[in-house]
Amino acid sequence: MKFLLLGFIFVSVLSYGQDSKAETVLKSMSTKIEDMTAFYIEFSASVKNTENGTNFSETGKGWVKGQKFYASYGENTIISNGTKTWTIIKDEKTTYVTDADDDESENMNPKKLMTLWKTGFKNKYEKESTLNDVAVHVVNLYPNESKDTDYHTIVLYITKSSSELKKAVMKANDGTVMTYTVTKFTSNPTVEDTKFVYDSKKYPGYELVND
Protein backbone atom coordinates (compact mmCIF):
# COMPACT_ATOMS: atom_id res chain seq x y z
CA MET A 1 0.00 0.00 0.00
CA LYS A 2 2.80 2.38 0.84
CA PHE A 3 4.23 1.79 -2.66
CA LEU A 4 0.85 2.62 -4.19
CA LEU A 5 0.57 5.82 -2.17
CA LEU A 6 4.07 6.92 -3.11
CA GLY A 7 3.34 6.10 -6.73
CA PHE A 8 0.76 8.84 -6.69
CA ILE A 9 3.50 11.42 -6.11
CA PHE A 10 4.56 12.55 -9.59
CA VAL A 11 7.06 15.24 -8.72
CA SER A 12 10.12 17.00 -10.17
CA VAL A 13 11.47 20.55 -10.10
CA LEU A 14 12.61 21.75 -13.52
CA SER A 15 11.09 23.44 -16.58
CA TYR A 16 9.17 21.40 -19.15
CA GLY A 17 9.89 20.78 -22.82
CA GLN A 18 7.70 22.02 -25.64
CA ASP A 19 5.34 20.25 -28.00
CA SER A 20 2.74 22.76 -29.16
CA LYS A 21 -0.11 20.28 -29.63
CA ALA A 22 0.63 18.53 -26.35
CA GLU A 23 0.78 21.84 -24.47
CA THR A 24 -2.53 22.99 -25.92
CA VAL A 25 -4.21 19.81 -24.64
CA LEU A 26 -2.46 19.95 -21.25
CA LYS A 27 -3.21 23.64 -20.70
CA SER A 28 -6.87 23.09 -21.49
CA MET A 29 -7.04 20.29 -18.91
CA SER A 30 -5.21 22.30 -16.25
CA THR A 31 -7.24 25.48 -16.82
CA LYS A 32 -10.47 23.57 -16.41
CA ILE A 33 -9.43 21.98 -13.13
CA GLU A 34 -7.92 25.20 -11.73
CA ASP A 35 -11.12 27.14 -12.46
CA MET A 36 -13.16 24.81 -10.24
CA THR A 37 -13.79 25.75 -6.62
CA ALA A 38 -13.93 22.05 -5.71
CA PHE A 39 -14.16 18.60 -7.25
CA TYR A 40 -14.78 14.95 -6.33
CA ILE A 41 -12.99 12.05 -8.00
CA GLU A 42 -13.12 8.26 -7.88
CA PHE A 43 -10.47 6.10 -9.50
CA SER A 44 -9.04 2.61 -9.73
CA ALA A 45 -5.31 1.95 -9.48
CA SER A 46 -3.26 -1.09 -10.41
CA VAL A 47 0.41 -1.93 -9.93
CA LYS A 48 2.04 -4.64 -12.06
CA ASN A 49 5.56 -5.95 -12.56
CA THR A 50 5.93 -9.23 -14.46
CA GLU A 51 9.56 -9.66 -13.40
CA ASN A 52 8.96 -9.73 -9.64
CA GLY A 53 5.35 -10.94 -9.70
CA THR A 54 3.79 -7.74 -8.35
CA ASN A 55 0.12 -7.53 -9.29
CA PHE A 56 -2.44 -5.78 -7.13
CA SER A 57 -5.09 -3.13 -7.38
CA GLU A 58 -6.90 -0.63 -5.19
CA THR A 59 -9.69 1.90 -5.52
CA GLY A 60 -9.60 5.45 -4.30
CA LYS A 61 -11.60 8.63 -4.02
CA GLY A 62 -10.92 12.21 -3.14
CA TRP A 63 -12.43 15.61 -2.47
CA VAL A 64 -10.48 18.77 -3.28
CA LYS A 65 -11.36 22.32 -2.29
CA GLY A 66 -8.69 24.93 -2.95
CA GLN A 67 -5.57 23.75 -1.12
CA LYS A 68 -7.59 21.39 1.07
CA PHE A 69 -8.10 17.74 0.20
CA TYR A 70 -9.33 14.41 1.52
CA ALA A 71 -8.15 11.30 -0.31
CA SER A 72 -8.56 7.62 0.47
CA TYR A 73 -6.65 4.77 -1.15
CA GLY A 74 -7.87 1.32 -0.21
CA GLU A 75 -8.15 1.43 3.58
CA ASN A 76 -5.77 4.35 4.09
CA THR A 77 -6.63 8.05 4.14
CA ILE A 78 -4.88 11.39 3.67
CA ILE A 79 -6.48 14.59 4.97
CA SER A 80 -5.15 18.13 4.55
CA ASN A 81 -6.67 21.40 5.74
CA GLY A 82 -4.12 23.48 3.87
CA THR A 83 -1.94 23.87 6.97
CA LYS A 84 -1.48 20.32 8.26
CA THR A 85 -1.65 16.95 6.51
CA TRP A 86 -2.62 13.72 8.25
CA THR A 87 -1.71 10.38 6.65
CA ILE A 88 -3.73 7.60 8.28
CA ILE A 89 -2.29 4.08 7.88
CA LYS A 90 -4.85 1.50 9.02
CA ASP A 91 -2.50 -1.51 9.15
CA GLU A 92 -0.18 0.38 11.51
CA LYS A 93 -2.98 2.11 13.44
CA THR A 94 -0.87 5.23 13.05
CA THR A 95 -1.54 8.78 11.87
CA TYR A 96 1.47 10.73 10.57
CA VAL A 97 1.24 14.53 10.79
CA THR A 98 3.25 16.83 8.53
CA ASP A 99 3.13 20.46 7.42
CA ALA A 100 0.91 20.87 4.37
CA ASP A 101 3.63 22.76 2.49
CA ASP A 102 5.97 19.77 2.77
CA ASP A 103 6.72 18.60 -0.80
CA GLU A 104 5.53 15.03 -0.21
CA SER A 105 2.31 16.12 1.50
CA GLU A 106 1.53 18.73 -1.15
CA ASN A 107 1.94 16.26 -3.98
CA MET A 108 -0.52 13.77 -2.49
CA ASN A 109 -3.30 16.18 -3.49
CA PRO A 110 -5.38 14.51 -6.26
CA LYS A 111 -5.30 17.84 -8.08
CA LYS A 112 -1.60 17.23 -8.72
CA LEU A 113 -2.49 14.53 -11.22
CA MET A 114 -4.11 17.14 -13.48
CA THR A 115 -1.36 19.76 -13.18
CA LEU A 116 1.83 17.73 -12.68
CA TRP A 117 3.00 18.35 -16.25
CA LYS A 118 3.73 22.03 -15.54
CA THR A 119 7.11 21.49 -13.88
CA GLY A 120 9.86 18.98 -14.47
CA PHE A 121 8.69 17.36 -17.71
CA LYS A 122 9.16 17.31 -21.43
CA ASN A 123 5.89 16.55 -23.19
CA LYS A 124 5.00 14.93 -26.50
CA TYR A 125 1.69 14.49 -28.26
CA GLU A 126 1.53 10.78 -29.07
CA LYS A 127 -1.77 10.22 -30.91
CA GLU A 128 -5.54 10.39 -30.93
CA SER A 129 -7.24 7.25 -29.66
CA THR A 130 -10.36 5.93 -27.94
CA LEU A 131 -10.79 4.79 -24.35
CA ASN A 132 -14.00 2.96 -23.51
CA ASP A 133 -15.51 4.38 -26.72
CA VAL A 134 -14.54 7.94 -25.75
CA ALA A 135 -12.21 9.92 -28.04
CA VAL A 136 -9.02 10.92 -26.21
CA HIS A 137 -5.70 12.65 -26.72
CA VAL A 138 -2.69 10.57 -25.65
CA VAL A 139 0.17 12.69 -24.28
CA ASN A 140 3.51 11.41 -22.98
CA LEU A 141 5.48 13.10 -20.21
CA TYR A 142 9.20 12.49 -19.69
CA PRO A 143 11.09 13.72 -16.61
CA ASN A 144 13.81 16.22 -17.45
CA GLU A 145 16.16 14.60 -14.98
CA SER A 146 15.37 10.89 -15.39
CA LYS A 147 18.40 9.87 -13.33
CA ASP A 148 16.76 11.50 -10.30
CA THR A 149 13.42 9.72 -10.70
CA ASP A 150 12.22 6.12 -10.39
CA TYR A 151 10.19 6.29 -13.61
CA HIS A 152 10.83 7.19 -17.25
CA THR A 153 7.39 7.92 -18.75
CA ILE A 154 3.90 9.03 -17.72
CA VAL A 155 1.15 8.57 -20.30
CA LEU A 156 -1.99 10.73 -19.97
CA TYR A 157 -5.32 10.03 -21.66
CA ILE A 158 -7.38 13.24 -21.90
CA THR A 159 -10.86 13.47 -23.43
CA LYS A 160 -11.14 15.47 -26.64
CA SER A 161 -14.62 16.77 -25.91
CA SER A 162 -14.24 17.89 -22.29
CA SER A 163 -10.48 18.10 -21.57
CA GLU A 164 -10.82 15.71 -18.63
CA LEU A 165 -8.14 13.29 -17.51
CA LYS A 166 -9.43 9.73 -17.84
CA LYS A 167 -6.31 7.65 -17.32
CA ALA A 168 -2.65 7.98 -16.31
CA VAL A 169 0.00 5.29 -16.72
CA MET A 170 3.31 5.61 -14.88
CA LYS A 171 6.17 3.44 -16.20
CA ALA A 172 8.92 2.86 -13.67
CA ASN A 173 12.56 2.10 -14.42
CA ASP A 174 12.32 -1.32 -12.73
CA GLY A 175 9.53 -2.46 -15.07
CA THR A 176 6.65 -1.62 -12.73
CA VAL A 177 3.60 -0.12 -14.42
CA MET A 178 1.11 1.85 -12.31
CA THR A 179 -2.21 2.64 -13.94
CA TYR A 180 -4.78 5.12 -12.60
CA THR A 181 -8.21 5.21 -14.23
CA VAL A 182 -10.76 7.88 -13.36
CA THR A 183 -14.14 6.21 -12.87
CA LYS A 184 -16.14 9.23 -11.67
CA PHE A 185 -15.59 12.97 -11.66
CA THR A 186 -17.88 15.67 -10.24
CA SER A 187 -17.06 19.36 -10.59
CA ASN A 188 -17.91 21.95 -7.94
CA PRO A 189 -19.69 19.70 -5.42
CA THR A 190 -20.81 21.14 -2.10
CA VAL A 191 -18.29 20.02 0.53
CA GLU A 192 -17.95 21.37 4.06
CA ASP A 193 -14.55 22.45 5.40
CA THR A 194 -14.93 19.95 8.24
CA LYS A 195 -14.23 17.23 5.67
CA PHE A 196 -10.61 18.37 5.63
CA VAL A 197 -9.96 18.27 9.39
CA TYR A 198 -8.62 15.21 11.20
CA ASP A 199 -11.01 13.95 13.88
CA SER A 200 -9.18 11.67 16.33
CA LYS A 201 -12.52 10.32 17.61
CA LYS A 202 -12.92 8.49 14.29
CA TYR A 203 -9.60 6.71 14.82
CA PRO A 204 -9.58 5.38 18.41
CA GLY A 205 -6.33 3.74 19.45
CA TYR A 206 -4.29 5.30 16.65
CA GLU A 207 -0.84 6.65 17.51
CA LEU A 208 -0.30 10.26 16.37
CA VAL A 209 3.23 10.79 15.05
CA ASN A 210 4.73 14.13 14.00
CA ASP A 211 6.68 13.14 10.91
How far is residue 193 from each of residues 110, 158, 200, measured CA to CA in Å?
Answer: 17, 30, 16
How far is residue 128 from each of residues 131, 134, 139, 156, measured CA to CA in Å?
Answer: 10, 11, 9, 12
- Per the structure, the complete domain to which residue 124 belongs is given by 2-210
pTM score: 0.80
Domain CATH number, residue 64: 2.50.20.10
Work out how many domains the chain is built from and give that number.
1
* pLDDT at res. 113: 64
In angstroms, rounded to a whole number, what is the distance separating the alpha carbons of residues 33 and 165? 10
- Residues near 147 by beta carbon (within 8 Å), at least 6 away in sequence: none
In angstroms, rounded to a whole number, what is the distance separating the alpha carbons of residues 129 and 155? 13
In what side-by-side order are the strands of the sheet with 177-187? Answer: 121-131, 134-143, 151-159, 165-172, 177-187, 38-49, 54-65, 68-73, 76-80, 84-89, 94-99, 207-210
| Longest CA pairwise span in the chain (Å) | 53
In angstroms, rounded to a whole number, what is the distance separating the alpha carbons of residues 120 and 151? 13
* pLDDT at res. 112: 66
* pLDDT at res. 69: 92
Any alpha helices (H) in 45-186, and if so which ranges? 103-106, 112-115
Going residue by residue through the chain, which has 211 residues, state the pLDDT in tens, using 9 for 90 and above. 444 444 443 333 333 345 789 989 999 988 888 889 999 999 898 999 998 999 989 898 999 998 899 998 888 899 999 899 999 999 999 999 998 876 454 555 666 666 777 777 889 999 999 999 999 999 999 888 767 778 899 999 999 999 999 999 999 999 999 998 999 999 999 999 999 999 999 999 999 998 7
In the three-class reduction of DSSP (H, G, I as helix; E, B as strand; rest coil), residue 94 is classed as strand
